[in-house]
Structure 1
C-alpha cells in the first residue's frame, strides 16, 4: 500500500482526509506540525506528502523533506486556500510538485489521488 502523509495543523482536516484517503487504499500518516512531519519522514519517507500552506514552517518542511535521500520520487502537494500565485510559487521553489485547493472533499481527493493508489 502507498504511504501518504498529511501535514496540517487542523485535527478536523487530518481526520477527514485520512478517512477518505484510507478508503482509497492509502496508508495515511498524520503530522500536526513541521517537527512531527520531519521526524516521521526521517523514519520512513512516504510516497506522497500533503502540506498545508498555513501550517507554521510549511515551506521549511517541504525544502527539508525534498533534500532527504530518496525524496526525488516523492510527490509533494502544497495545500492552499486560494490561488495565490505568490504563495504557490514559494511552494514550488521550496520543492512542491503540485497544488491542492482547500477546502477539499471526497470527489476532489479521489480525483487527485486515485491514480497513485491504483499504481501501487
Structure 2
C-alpha cells in the first residue's frame, strides 16, 4: 500500500515513516503543503496521511485543492487541534478520518489500513476499470467520477457509496452493506451516517441522468433516469 505522509515536524515525520515502512507500507514523506499537493497530483497514493499545520500551504487548503482537482484518495488527518469545530472543518473539506495527537502507532496503522481497503473494491466480471451510467463515468483506478467531461466533486465516502451502487446497477444494497463499504472499521459511527452520505450524493447527482433511489426495507439502488 502506497502512503503519502505529510508532516512538518522532521523528527515526527522520520519516526512515522520508519514505523510505517516496518509495517509493510511504501511511504513517501514530505513536510511542505505545496510539495504535498504536487506529489499527490503527480502520483496519487492509496492513502494520504496529512498534518493540518504545514508551511507553504495549510493542510486544509491542500485537502480542498486536491478534492477540487478530482483527487479521491482517502485522507487521514493528523491534528493537534483538539476542538470539535476543527475536526468538522477537516471532514467537511473532504477528509475521511482524523487522528488527534498524540496517538498510538497501532491505531495509526489500523486507520490507514481501513482507509486503504476502501480503494480495493474488486473489478466487475468484464475486468474493466471503468463504470458508466447515464452521464456518469467512474474510473476505478483513480477514483475520479465524471459527469460528461467534468469532474464531479465527491468526498471519498460519497465516491465509495457511488462505486458500490454502480457496480450493481438496478440492484438494491442494504444500509448495513453500504455501511461496511463506506465506513470500514469505524466502530463509533452509527448506521444512520449512511443516510447523510446518500442525501449529499443524491444532490450532487442531479442533472447527471442517474437517480439514487431509496427502497423502504431493502436499501438503496441507482438507475438511469
Higher helix share: 1
Moved over 4 A (4+): none
Higher relative contact order (CA 8 A, sep 6+): 1
Larger-Rg structure: 2
Paired residues of 1:3 and 1:28 also in contact (CA < 8 A): yes
Structure-2 residue corresponding to 1:46: 45
Structure-2 residue corresponding to 1:27: 26
Q: TM-score, normalised by structure 1?
A: 0.84
Paired residues of 1:10 and 1:32 also in contact (CA < 8 A): yes
1:60 to 2:61 alignment: yes
Aligned mates of 1:9, 1:63 — CA distance in 2: 19
Structure-1 residue corresponding to 2:98: 99
Aligned mates of 2:87, 2:75 — CA distance in 1: 13
Aligned mates of 2:61, 2:84 — CA distance in 1: 18
Give deviations 1:52-79, integer Å, cap 9, x for gaps: 122241111011122234x22x111111
Q: Displacement, 1:89?
A: 1.0
Q: TM-score, normalised by structure 2?
A: 0.47
Query: Could you list the runs of 5+ residues in structure 2 that have no partner in the other structure?
Result: 121-225
Structure-2 residue corresponding to 1:16: 15
Aligned mates of 1:109, 1:55 — CA distance in 2: 20
